[in-house]
Amino acid sequence: MEKPFVIGIDMGGTNTVFGIVDARGHVRARSSIKTQQYADINDYVNTLSDEMMKLVDSVGGIEMIRGIGAGAPNANYYTGNIEHAANLPWKGVIPFARMLSERMGVPCAITNDANAAAMGEMTYGAARGMKDFIMITLGTGVGSGIVVDGRVVYGHDGFAGELGHAIAVRENGRLCGCGRHGCLETYASANGLARTAREILSRSEKPSLLRQLDSENITSKDVYDAAVQGDQVALDIFNFTGRILGEKLADFVTFSAPEAIVLFGGLTKAGDYITKPIHEAMEANMLPVWKGKVKLLLSDLKEADAAVLGASALAWDLPQA
């Protein structure tokens, strides 16, 4: 019997969003639960399964579901486990894919959220038809998914592709949550851009609309709003951020020679303010063999659906019983 739907799950530290997805990338039904509400993983899996079954029933029952794909922090595609995720309420190693598959009666796969985003872009979005590209997610951190010959690169242990933790600034680099200094995500994420704003404002007396705000609470959106009004300090912040990211993207190209780099996440809403300096720095630092050959694209996926779509893409290739 034809199984026309899959389920995508985006597990965040606060909320878990899930939906029924068809082969065209349409989210047919969606819902959510509060992740932090469940201190016991068994309670979480049981509640998640019960809520998903309500959606499943609305499309004709479990026999219509091909499989489940999930994106989660520290998720290992090889093992199906969530391993020591700092932002989730359950510590240690959680065999999430097995638990959910047994509860739902369909196969399940899991990967980290950036790899899920890459799968979603390749299946439904801007990278559809591409076999070699790099996905960069610019949110509170910097995530990445590397696709080579049509497959996500996981490495020998399932955790390859942490480009957000490539060192971008070696001398006096910012302390990262991973414990190292100078990681890319401390500069090129939304949080990193806000840190840059505070640093530039503190060491310069140049007038800026941003000085009207509490510097400790400045956000990337504040910087964007100021840039739109022609604020030079805000423009300097975007240029600095874009330069650092563009330089590292030129380095990343040397690893896998991608057809494109696809950017996704809240920081991309700044449009040309961030993408122009990224592209200029990337091209300026590119090895000659790749100059002008690697496209810089923005995600095609609707932000509201992107995480669920990305996770769901894992499910189409799952083996059937």
Q: Give me the DSSP letters along 106-159.
A: S-EEEE-HHHHHHHHHHHHSTTTT-SSEEEEEESSSEEEEEEETTEE--TTTS-
Q: Is the pLDDT of residue 232 over 70?
A: yes
Per-residue pLDDT tens digits for 17-58: 999 999 999 999 999 999 999 999 999 999 999 999 999 999
Residues forming beta bridges with residue 136, ordered by sequence position: 144, 263
Give the domain ranges of the chain.
5-120+304-317, 129-300
- The predicted pLDDT at position 57 comes to 96
Q: Is the pLDDT of residue 218 over 70?
A: yes
Task: Write out the two tokens for 85.
Answer: 């995720």
DSSP-derived secondary structure letter, 319: P
Residue 20 CA to residue 5 CA, distance in Å, equals 6
Pick from 179, 159, 150, 156: nearest CA to 167 = 179
Maximum CA extent, the chain: 69
Task: Write out the two tokens for 82.
Answer: 């969530």
Helices (H), 149-216: 185-188, 190-203
Pick from 124, 127, 132: nearest CA to 309 = 124
* Distances in whole angstroms, Cα of residue 308 to Cα of each of 96, 209, 265: 17, 37, 14
Q: Does residue 136 contact residue 263 with C-beta atoms inside 8 Å?
A: yes
Q: If residue 22 lies in a helix (H) or strand (E), which one and from where to where?
A: strand 15-22
Q: Is the pLDDT of residue 233 over 80?
A: yes
- The predicted pLDDT at position 22 comes to 96
**pLDDT interval class at 321 (50, 70, 90):** low
Beta-carbon contacts of 231 under 8 Å, excluding residues fewer than 6 positions away, are 208, 209, 210
Q: Which CATH architecture has domain 129-300?
A: 2-Layer Sandwich (3.30)
> What mean pLDDT do residues 205-222 have?
95
- Residue 13 CA, chain-centre distance (Å), reads 14
Q: Is the pLDDT of residue 210 over 90?
A: yes
At 75, is the secondary structure helix, strand, or coil?
A: strand
- The predicted pLDDT at position 62 comes to 96
Residues forming beta bridges with residue 261, ordered by sequence position: 134, 296
Task: Write out the two tokens for 36.
Answer: 């932090």
* Distances in whole angstroms, Cα of residue 290 to Cα of each of 161, 265, 285, 287: 21, 25, 10, 6
- The predicted pLDDT at position 320 comes to 81
DSSP-derived secondary structure letter, 101: H
At 40, is the secondary structure helix, strand, or coil?
A: coil
For domain 5-120+304-317, give the CATH number.
3.30.420.40
**pLDDT interval class at 1 (50, 70, 90):** low
220-228 helix and 190-203 helix, angle to the nearest 10 degrees: 70
Task: Write out the two tokens for 259.
Answer: 């057809």
Within 13 A of 110's CA, how many CA atoms are on the CB side?
21
Residue 280 CA to residue 197 CA, distance in Å, equals 21
Neighbours of 63 (CB within 10 A): 11
Pick from 8, 174, 12, 175: nearest CA to 86 = 12
pTM (2 decimals)?
0.90
- Residue 192 CA, chain-centre distance (Å), reads 16
- The predicted pLDDT at position 271 comes to 96
Q: What residue type is 172 in one-letter code? A: N
Per-residue pLDDT tens digits for 105-118: 999 999 998 899 99
